[in-house]
Chain A
């Protein structure tokens, strides 16, 4: 059973601080990693994707991947109240029938306090 684990939170950070969201996965063969943001009552929307070890930056967001440790994280710099949402980590295996689907973690609820 392929699993994706996240701390459900809530994670509370003050406005302007760095929010750090973490995710671990069980399938060592996983190749594609995604972070989705989901506001309450809305659908998930893609924030970042990462495929190689290291860091990937996009504006205030940085995704970090460490395949050896089976760990992927999302950093949000200068956190804003509008960043308050649930962040879903998703992992796609590299091959086989399972590569056709994303496995999602249960999400971490982030609350940015003004």
Chain B
């Protein structure tokens, strides 16, 4: 019954590889997000989609490409992985994009680039 689920939970890969992280929410929410949490635990927004449309695209290398096939899914594809991409990536969702709606997080995907 996981509300926001993401896979894989752990990913170890070599520099230069391309990888994807998948995310699905079963809460019926309109808005989904990708956050990155670095080694210092700083949680920062990367992307946000509202009803499959991109509404937030923070300063993120274009090696990162989100894709939302429908409003329940938001996948993150990363090309040409670099050491600095090692972090925990959290998918999240909220009922609507604005106002005070609570954001619910997935369990995180631990990416290690070696």
Contacts and interface: CB of A to CB of B under 8 A. Distances in A.
A, B from the same assembly: yes
A102 B103 contact: yes
Contacts of B97: 99-100
A99 B98 contact: yes
A107 B41 contact: yes
A104 B43 contact: yes
A5 B90 CA distance: 21
Interface residues of B, number: 24
A101 interface: yes
Contact of B42 (A32, A92, A101, A104): A104
A60 interface: no
Interface of A: 31-32, 34, 38, 42-46, 49, 51, 86, 88, 90, 92, 97, 99-104, 106-107
Contact of A101 (B45, B99, B100): B45
B108 A43 contact: yes
Interface of B: 31, 33, 40-45, 48, 50, 55-56, 90, 97-100, 102-108
Contacts of A107: 41-43
Nearest to B41: A107
Contacts of A44: 43, 90, 105
Given A42-B107, A100-B55, A34 B102 contact: yes
B74 to A, nearest CB: 14
Given A43-B90, A43-B108, A44-B90, A104 B44 contact: yes
